[in-house]
Chains A and B, each alone.
Chain A
Amino acid sequence: MSGPSTYEPKSGFTRWLDKRLPIIRLGYDSFVAYPTPRNLNYWWTFGAMLSMCLVVQIVTGVVLAMHYVPHIDMAFASVQRLERDVPYGWLIQNIHAVGASMFFLAVYIHMFRGLYYGSYKAPRELLWILGCVIYVLMVATGFLGYTLPWGQMSFWGATVITNLLGALPIVGESIKNWLSGGFSIDQPTINRFFSLHYLLPFVIAGVVALHVWALHEAGQGNPTGVDVRKASDIPAGEPGDTVPFTPHATMKDLFAAVLFVILFATFVFFMPDALGHADNFIPANPLQTPPEIVPEWYLLPFYAILRAIDFNIGPIDSKLGGVLAMFAAIGVLFVLPWLDTSRIRSMRYRPIARQFFLIFVVVCVILGWCGGQNPGKILVPATFSATLEWVEGGTVTQSPVRAEGEAQWAQAAADAQASQSGAAMTAVTRTSATEGTLRAINGGAVQTRTVTGGTVDELEAAVTEAKAAVGQAAPFFNVTRNTPFTFTVTTLSQIATFYYFFFFLVLLPLLGLRETPGRVPDTIAKPVTKQAQGAA
């Protein structure tokens, strides 16, 4: 792609160096002469920003590590000391914490760009997979880093995530204990999480190098998805399809990066804690579970997928199912190059796929929203109702009920009730595993009342209220509860999760075969020149 090197050492020293270690040549070929398509839009500027984010995180992180104490009793205080007493410690800490969010914001835009413009298609499959590897490493690093301040959310987040891995069959328990360094989240956990949190960014840097290498081999894609022509294929008098990386792409990336830094700085200086959770300012307390355990915003979509599976699938229980779905949600990205069967790279020329892609983006946002909500929250108003039945007047008789064993209890209770066929109402109260009391009312008038509520709690309150209103007039009540279908956050998560997988596993393979694409230009120059003429 890059073609033969055009670097010419100018001075004696660079000629000497070029024969021994052609490092200037490497830099020149990669970041100066490197041909970049002239029609890239601003969605292509996030790669440079991501490199910047990685450098910022590593530099601030190294400084933070000089002050941080990985100890369950001192970690929280060491972060406080850093923020209060270390000169500009507050700034470094804010940049690192906000930086994690910015890193993920940029990487999500970068990934959606890749999805939309088909950047994962041949010959860039490995480039895409390396990107997926980087993303997985980022998720791990972000999670580990969030644990380190040892606040409530740190501790309970770590507990939830390690417990998840414990759901895996056979090896789960071992992996969980190996990760946490014991049977619970404790001192060994914080030590190894700190060690790994320091290690992984350098692994990311290594994979980034491979990512950039693969990029420079295949060359950048572009919004049309059409391959750029070799310089020799371009008719005389026409400008080439590419421009040198420096200064053209460099300047554009720098401009976009400054805009990104403005957003970054707004958070750092004016709302440093807006993206975090208040509970992480409470020191970790293993004896007190917070009312809600939520990950950082960038992991919420996967958290929603995890919780969406609240049902057993055959031998797979809901917990394992959730874990598998969550891993599959990331795993599916790795095989995406072979799921999408369309030969057209850019969705610009795929009118139907493009609509489904936009829905996909919205679905991801919905999943993120669901991840931050209480899963039981009812979204569409529903009516829970219960019917109370009681007898006014009449005489109450009591008799004991005995079953031969615990397993026979249900049958014994039913038999006892059936024996009182003349009674207006019967009830069995269980007092132990095999014993209970049968109460029956003979005579009197059967009364009923129906109460309703918007939630289970409201219904129970209404039932209690109704019982109190009837009071002594009824010896006891039979309550029949009618639970309607409720559309909760979980239901929404399930629909969104379904679409997430449907998009990758069904839509992309089928659409590639069935869809009639729009007209793809022969060269990237066509739309470029048309646009230029339109502007002129």
Chain B
Amino acid sequence: MLRALTLAAALTVASVGAAFAAGDAEHPHDHAFSFDSPVGSYDMGAVQRGYQVYQQVCSTCHAMDHLAYRHLGERNGPFALYMVRNHETGEVEPHVGAPAHGGSFVDVTENQYVRAIAAGVTINAVDPNTGQLTDRPGRISDRFRRPFPNEIAARASNGGAYPVDLSVITSARHGGADYIYALLTGYTGQSRGTLYENPYFPGHYIAMPPPLTEGAVAYSDGSPTTVEQYAADVTHFLQWAADPHMEQRKRTGIVVLAFLLVLAGLMYLSYKHVWRNESH
């Protein structure tokens, strides 16, 4: 009886995942990302390169309204700055990204890298002296610059298609990161009018032209400048953008589960102890 009902309950939960089948689109292949496993973390180098790809390619059409430049330099961000003591020279040096051990986190307001990234963007804002709209360099508190002032302008510039906001795109699509990677690398090269064939897109024709071309973004760390590498990096960045607290979430989860398992053991022993003289 107990086993039968447990099985039924397990089936209910299991069926949920399978319940939402995708349309006619081809199922994306599993791409190996460092964040896949329950203990996996982000490859911050890839997230940094991915930001570069977003900034130089995607951001010409796609907004990311829910992200601000400061997010890039917070503890879980790709450009988080740490001061680390060099063991050989004894000097304290800046280090972008969490060091393997030690180091003190530099608040994002003091983070020169993130300030430079923000300052490199031109933001359209109200001039505090004249009240007129004017351009100014970005600040870290600014949200990512919107490529178009509104949806109508975005559609008008893109043949009627609306480039979606990418803030949570990996959460908002079946298949998540695998889907984004498959879509970016899945163009067949065929087109029909202003639609481009891509088997991973529902309906097989997408209004977005192939966004990535070999060598379009210059990497400074020597990573290959291929379409596959760009796609993997920008997908990595988008996954981070959708789920910036993933590393903390998983780390906390391990500790919580370890604690609960020990607690369950203690509870079981207490329970047995309380009932030791009672038949039941």
Interface residues of A (CB under 8 A from B): 38-43, 77, 80-81, 83-84, 90-91, 94, 105, 108-109, 112, 116, 239, 243, 247-248, 251-252, 254-255, 258-259, 261-262, 265-266, 268-270, 272-275, 277-279, 281-283, 291-292, 294, 297, 300, 358, 361-362, 365, 368-369, 371-374, 528-529, 531-532
Contact = CB atoms under 8 A, between A and B. Distances in A.
Interface string B45-66: 0000000000000000000011
28 contacts: A80-B167, A81-B66, A112-B5, A239-B278, A251-B270, A251-B274, A254-B267, A255-B268, A258-B264, A259-B264, A262-B260, A262-B261, A265-B253, A265-B260, A268-B253, A269-B250, A273-B171, A275-B16, A278-B171, A281-B168, A282-B164, A291-B23, A292-B20, A361-B4, A361-B8, A368-B15, A531-B279, A532-B279
Which interface residue of A255, A272, A275, A373 has the most chain B CB atoms within 10 A? A255
Given A265-B256, A532-B279, 14 more contacts: A43-B2, A81-B66, A90-B249, A94-B249, A109-B9, A243-B278, A262-B257, A265-B260, A278-B172, A281-B172, A297-B16, A372-B19, A373-B19, A374-B21
Interface of A is mostly: helix
Contact of A248 (B244, B254, B278): B278
Interface residues of B: mostly helix, strand, loop or mixed? helix
B11 interface: yes
A372 B263 contact: no
A277 B20 CA distance: 8
Contacts of B264: 255, 258-259, 262
B27 interface: no
A38 B278 contact: yes
B279 A239 contact: yes
B70 to A, nearest CB: 9
A105 B253 CA distance: 21
A251 B274 CA distance: 8
A372 B245 contact: no
Contacts of A261: 260
B32 interface: no
A250 B279 CA distance: 17
Nearest to A279: B172
Which interface residue of A112, A281, A291, A528 has the most chain B CB atoms within 10 A?
A: A281
Interface size class of B (residues with CB under 8 A): 35 or more
Nearest to B241: A84
Contacts of A274: 16-17
A265 B256 CA distance: 8
A151 to B, nearest CB: 8
A90 B9 CA distance: 28
A230 B164 CA distance: 69
B174 interface: yes
Interface of B: 1-2, 4-5, 8-9, 11-13, 15-21, 23, 38, 65-67, 71, 164-165, 167-168, 171-174, 176, 202, 242, 244-245, 249-250, 252-254, 256-257, 260-261, 263-264, 267-268, 270-271, 274-275, 278-280
Contact of A258 (B67, B202, B267): B267
B21 A251 contact: no
B114 to A, nearest CB: 16
Contact of A270 (B20, B38, B168): B38
Given A243-B278, A255-B264, A91 B252 contact: yes
A242 to B, nearest CB: 10
A486 to B, nearest CB: 18
A372 B168 contact: no
Contacts of B67: 84
A41 B253 contact: no
A91 B249 contact: yes
A294 B19 contact: yes
Given A77-B65, A294-B20, A269 B5 contact: no
A270 B253 contact: yes
Contacts of A239: 278-279
A109 B4 CA distance: 12
Nearest to B65: A77
A116 B4 CA distance: 12
Nearest to A354: B1
